[in-house]
Structure 1
Amino acid sequence: MARRLRRFQERFEPLVTRALLLGIFATGLLAQFVKPVGDALEGKAFLGGALLSLVGYVLYDQVKELSASVRVPARVLVNSSEQGTFVGESFQARKVEISFLGYTGETLYNALYHRLEDLFDNPGPTRRVTIRMLVPDFGLPMTVPSRVGTDDSPVDDPEFRMRMEGRCREYDSILSELAERLTANSRVAVECEYRLYQGIPRDKVCIFNRQQVLHGLYDLSVRMRLEHMGPEFYDPKGFRTDLNVWSREGTAAAEAAVSTWNKHFDDLWTLARIPPWRQRPAP
């Protein structure tokens, strides 16, 4: 309802304002040169008021544009734990598109899983959902994640990498199975796909319906242990990452940033590799 009222205001406010300004201008001129009208309004400075109204009319569009250019988004920085809110807002659209670039995507996966399950009972306006998840290629040697070696140097650890790959494979399997059931048994068509990019998980990016972008940087110095006295591993914690919010409804710079991130993600997606767990064996 709030969005509808805002769209209604944005649509009719310029028209009403211009009509009022022109009305004041016309009335001022009429009162200046038509004595009965001037006497009725009991005014003495109609011409000056009319000219000021005309100036206001001419400057109105420029003021509107300036106001839009300096508008500050309602939210400029959020924590990764708030991604669920953005997921919920995205599913108010008929066509939903959510894209992720980062580490394992665990925080986003949890929000997506619960929202997709809700579609069985409450699809709302949603009729199509596309989910794209870009995660690192854990089949290649990596500096992050890795084992902490001598002098804090990173040491590639294939076993730990496979642990992270197994986690992504599990998320992919669960979301894909859920997507198939929704497509077969509901009014919503759902597609979910994982792909792999080369490199370390540095950027965390979430794109919602190509309209909003959340972007932050992983803390690559974070360490963890699988066992109390076991070795340490470099293992970024995405749920602790703070994310900048870019929206097409914000400033011109924000809209440009959203367009840039959309193109960047699309390019990475095209270059990304299909995971080995999704590849079909050759006949």
Structure 2
Amino acid sequence: MSDTRPSWSDRLAAGWGRAESTVTKLFLAAVFALGLLAQFVKPIGDALEDKVYLGGALLTVVGYLLYAEVQRLNAAHTAQRENEDALDQVVRRLDDEVQRLNALLRPRAGETVTPRDLEREFEEALAAGGEVRLAAMGFTGETFAVPLRNVLQGLGRDPLRTVSLRLLVPDFTKAIEVPGQVDTGGKISDAPDFREQLRRQIAEYESSLTSQIARMRLRQTARLTVEFRVLHMSPSLKLYFINNDVVYEGIYDRIDLRPDYSSNSAPEACDGNLLDLLGYDSMLTRWSLDSGDHAREIIRRRRELFETLWNVAHELTPTPSLPGRPDAS
């Protein structure tokens, strides 16, 4: 069995390392005391008078101690600098690895993705700070307003961050056939009660986002602007814009034919079915500017379409207050 105990030289070096500071302080204190006594106690002063060699020896020892301390400090500073350089290299390697993993995990241009990928990129854009511009066109704005409200509530303090939110939705104050009512003969017509339900739903989404404006200003997390506009159109295309760099697009690819329970009539008295469009979890296609000419052309055309429709749309009509309850007679 090998002897793992430290050698005498190692133990001696360790002991001297622990005692060096104390011995040095005692020696310097003794030199100081001797000089002080020689100045004020005549016999000691006379004894040390003309002791040039002794003074030189003491001065040499003091100089050596100072030199050793300077060397120790230089060595410690050099080691610290080397450690900092090594740490910087590790941080750079980790940053490069994170960037590489993000590039692998982030959807490529033209790739089919899920709504969760869109929400994740919303989070990344808002967390990055600066000027953030998000816009969308959809049915009621649920896939835009709901995740963004949650992200906005969790943002950290950043007084320089500005966030602009724009949403374009159908004008459900006007008659529309899709979504609409399907009678027993298969003819589609307007469903006023369902339209009113959709209009109120959109108004709730607008309220949930605009309520964040004062809250975020007070907490200095961002300067937020929110604008909803409506246009007389049937919902079909879903568009989401993240700054000028990324576009997500999709369609409402499911039709739901069900009894119109939103009608004022009793369910059994409904004279037809409600034709509704679904697409909350529809797959999306992602396009980004850094993915080639084709992707840039797609983004340009989608943005041109959105801005054209946005400019001819008008502001969302405020939800009228419900009439007060009449007094009991």
Does 2:255 correspond to 1:255? no
Q: 2:198 aligns with which of 164, 167, 173?
A: 164
TM-score, normalised via structure 2 length: 0.58
Checking the alignment, whether the CA contact within 8 Å between 2:109 and 2:286 is kept in structure 1 is no
Tell me which residue corresponds to 2:132: 96
User: Counterpart of 1:267?
Assistant: 308
Which residue does the alignment assign to 1:180? 214
Give 2:223's aligned amino acid.
A
Give the structure 1 partner of residue 175 of structure 2.
Answer: 141
Change (3 A) 1:73 1:5: closer
Match of 2:278 among 199, 216, 237: 237
Q: 2:314 is aligned with what amino acid?
A: R
Conserved in 2, the CA contact under 8 Å of 1:97 and 1:208? yes
Q: Secondary structure at the match of 1:103?
A: coil
1:129 and 1:188 in contact (8 A); partners too: yes
Higher deviation after alignment, 223-232 or 158-167: 223-232
CA shift for structure 1 position 178 = 0.9
Checking the alignment, whether the CA contact within 8 Å between 1:212 and 1:247 is kept in structure 2 is yes
Distance change in 2, residues 1:153/1:124 (3 Å): farther
Q: Distance in 2 between matches of 1:102 and 1:255?
A: 22
8 Å Cα contact 2:255-2:278 kept in structure 1: no
Match for residue 244 of structure 2? 210
Q: State the Cα distance separating 1:217 from its structure 2 match.
A: 1.4
Deviations 1:163-213 (A, max 9, x none): 000000011011101123212431410011110012100111011112111
1:138 Cα deviation from its structure 2 partner: 0.2
Residue by residue over 1:16-54, the C-alpha shift from the partner in whole angstroms, topping out at 9 and shown as x without a partner, is xxxxxxxxxxxxxxxxxxxxxxxxxxxxxxxxxxxxxxx
Instruction: Please give the alpha-carbon distance, in whole angstroms, between the structure 1 residues aligned to 2:116 and 2:260.
Output: 23
- Give, in angstroms, the shift of residue 96 of structure 1: 0.9
Whole-angstrom distance in 1 between the partners of 2:150 and 2:205: 13
The answer to whether the 8 A contact 1:80-1:241 is kept is yes
Q: CA deviation at 1:232?
A: 3.1
Does the CA-based 8 Å contact 1:128-1:188 persist in structure 2? yes
Letter of the structure 2 residue corresponding to residue 192 of structure 1: V
Please give the per-residue CA displacement for 1:121-177, whole angstroms capped at 9, x wherever unaligned. x24697000000101000111111112223433220111100000000011011101
- In 1: Cα distance, 2:151 partner to 2:317 partner: 27
How much identity, in percent, do the aligned residues show? Answer: 25
Residue in structure 2 matched with residue 85 of structure 1 by the alignment: 120
Shift of 1:74: 6.0
Q: Could you list the runs of 5+ residues in structure 2 that have no partner in the other structure? A: 1-94, 101-106, 262-266, 321-329
C-alpha distance in structure 2 between counterparts of 1:87 and 1:226, whole Å: 35
Cα-to-partner distance string for 1:59-92 (whole Å, 9 max, x where unaligned): xxxxxxxxxxxxx926611123433112112212
Deviation at 1:225, TM superposition (A): 4.3
Q: CA deviation at 1:222?
A: 2.7
Instruction: Measure how far apart 1:273 and its partner are.
Output: 0.9
Contact 2:158 2:221 (8 Å CA) reproduced: no
CA RMSD of aligned residues (A): 2.7
Once the two structures are superposed, the pairs formed by residues 1-283 of structure 1 within 5 Å of their partners are 1-2=95-96, 73=108, 76-91=111-126, 92-119=128-155, 122-123=156-157, 127-219=161-253, 221-225=255-259, 227=261, 232-277=273-318
Give the 3-state SS of the residue equivalent to 2:302 in structure 1.
helix
Partner of 1:69: none
Larger Rg: 2
Q: Mark the CA change 1:194 to 1:278 in structure 2 (over 3 Å): closer, same or farther.
A: farther
Q: CA deviation at 1:254?
A: 0.2
Change (3 A) 1:113 1:224: farther
Deviation of residue 240 (structure 1)? 2.7
| Offset from partner CA, 1:220-270 (integer Å, 9 cap, x none) | 633344648665322212213221111111121101111222222122211
State whether residues 229 and 316 of structure 2, in contact with CA within 8 Å, keep that contact through their aligned partners in structure 1. yes
User: Contact (CA 8 Å) 2:159, 2:221: kept in 1 or not?
Assistant: no
